[in-house]
């Protein structure tokens, strides 16, 4: 899970269309399935 969150953080830094609040919300997700669904939906 840490790898997915780390990769997503890098993606957010490159894509300025994603608000910082989204990154904060993703970093708080503890369930792997919910994390995957959330990242895939963005």
Ordered by start, the domain boundaries in the chain are 2-40
What per-residue confidence (pLDDT) applies to 30? Answer: 96
What per-residue confidence (pLDDT) applies to 41? Answer: 95
pLDDT digits (tens, 9 = 90+) for 2-42: 999 999 999 999 999 999 899 999 999 999 999 999 999 99
User: What is the rounded distance in angstroms from the CA atom of residue 15 to the CA atom of residue 32?
Assistant: 23
pTM: 0.84
User: What is the rounded distance in angstroms from the CA atom of residue 30 to the CA atom of residue 16?
Assistant: 25
What per-residue confidence (pLDDT) applies to 34? Answer: 98
């Amino acid at each position: 899970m840490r790898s997915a969150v780390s990769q997503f953080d890098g993606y957010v830094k490159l894509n300025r269309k994603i608000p910082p609040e989204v990154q904060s919300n993703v970093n708080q997700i503890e369930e792997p399935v919910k994390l995957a669904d959330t990242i895939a939906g963005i």
